[in-house]
Amino acid sequence: LAKTTQPISMDSYEGQEVNITCSHNNIATNDYITWYQQFPSQGPRFIIQGYKTKVTNEVASLFIPADRKSSTLSLPRVSLSDTAVYYCLVFNTNAGKSTFGDGTTLTVKP
């Protein structure tokens, strides 16, 4: 399974755009890139998933370059409630499983 590397922590202010980058150098052909959000004492919640180029939904955008060795989660106009740990992981469709890294703790300040 591909290993992911993210920054340990990030700070931001309300209303700003936040970009969290993840590297996954040994990503495989059958791997999908997925981002989750986790609040304390809760299970992770799915945010967005992509294979290549750009994916956008109602809460975030995911940018994946052509080589797919990294990805960037973009959160537009964050609020205090976006303070959480964000996990980037690579989901292997053949194995049906994925590996979580230690995540990025995002702190949004007023």
Partner 1 sequence: SQTIHQWPATLVQPVGSPLSLECTVEGTSNPNLYWYRQAAGRGLQLLFYSVGIGQISSEVPQNLSASRPQDRQFILSSKKLLLSDSGFYLCAWRAENEQFFGPGTRLTVL
Minimum CB separation from partner 1 for residue 8, in Å? 10
Q: Which residue's CB is nearer to partner 1, number 49 or number 83?
A: 49
Q: Which residue's CB is nearer to partner 1, number 29 or number 110?
A: 29
Minimum CB separation from partner 1 for residue 32, in Å? 5
Which chain residues interact with partner 1 by CB under 8 A?
32, 34, 41-46, 49, 87, 91, 93, 96-103
SS (H, E, C) the chain: CCCCECCCEEEEECCCCEEEEEECCCCCCCEEEEEEEECCCCCCEEEEEECCEEEECCCCEEEECCCCCEEEEEECCCCHHHCEEEEEEEEECCCCEEEECCCEEEEEEC
